[in-house]
């Protein structure tokens, strides 16, 4: 799962292989380029923290598209 951002500022998540660097933006059809979005791990079970971050990120993405 990677984040991509187009020149219009739309950020979308896509499940692609690690070699993919560009996709078509689903909001405006421009080329969206892969961006780096770090995941903060606060100790403990990193898999659990990553799943929690993904759910929070998905919620944020839905809220910003509305």
What is the residue range of 28's domain?
A: 2-65
| Phi, then psi, of 26 in degrees rounded to 5 | -75, -15
Q: Give the tokens for residue 9.
A: 């500022």
Confidence (pTM): 0.58
Domain count, the chain: 1
Q: How many percent of the chain have pLDDT more than 70?
A: 83
Are the C-beta atoms of residues 25 and 8 closer than 8 Å to each other?
Answer: yes
Are the C-beta atoms of residues 11 and 61 closer than 8 Å to each other?
Answer: yes
Other Cβ atoms closer than 10 A to 6: 20
Q: Give the tokens for residue 34.
A: 């892969």
pLDDT in tens, 6-38: 999 999 999 999 899 999 999 999 999 999 876
Are the C-beta atoms of residues 3 and 15 closer than 8 Å to each other?
Answer: no
């Amino acid at each position: 799962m990677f984040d991509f951002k187009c020149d219009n500022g739309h950020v979308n998540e896509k499940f692609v292989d690690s070699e993919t660097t560009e996709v078509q933006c689903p909001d405006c059809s421009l080329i969206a380029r892969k961006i780096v979005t770090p995941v903060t791990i606060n100790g403990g079970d990193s898999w659990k923290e990553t799943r929690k971050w993904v759910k929070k990120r998905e919620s944020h993405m839905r809220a910003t598209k509305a």
